[in-house]
Structure 1
Amino acid sequence: MRKLILLVPFLVAAAACTPTEQGAAIGGLGGAAVGAAVAGNEVEGAVVGGAAGAIAGALIGRAAEGRNQCIYRDEYGRRYTAACPRGY
């Protein structure tokens, strides 16, 4: 039962939709685990570590989302994202 309880948060993290959400979930879980293990107060350590891990994970996931995507501007000044030209 204990293994199932530990496994459920990782399954939820893997089921997140975008790489940003996946990074935030995995980073938050990892940060909370490390924070609880290292800090003198387990609850404070988990909260601070989880927040820091979620922010870092979201930033890393966000960077992975935009691969091979370029931002273009049309004649009306609107911005849109599309695949980059080949070899770019």
Structure 2
Amino acid sequence: MPTDDEVVETASTAAEDVVFSRYDVGTVEDLDVTVTFEDGVLDVDVYVNAPDSRQDEAQVADDAALAARAAVDDLFEE
């Protein structure tokens, strides 16, 4: 059983990986990944500000949050 810290770290890393797979680091002006895991409930919020990119920031943020949840699901299946 993973610890709460492992869950948060896994989710955060997965979300950041998605964002930086879509954007160059210099393109991202602001990135905020907030992950909480309390009483078995995972909450992931991702905000991306990359105004000079052609990518839809909201879609990338949603994809990053989904990837974070999937990574945590995988962690619990190990």
TM score, norm. by length of structure 1:
0.36
The answer to which structure, 1 or 2, has the higher relative contact order (CA under 8 A, 6+ apart) is 2
Task: Name the structure with the higher strand share.
Answer: 2
| Larger of the two Rg values belongs to structure | 1
Task: Name the structure with the higher helix share.
Answer: 1
TM score, norm. by length of structure 2:
0.40
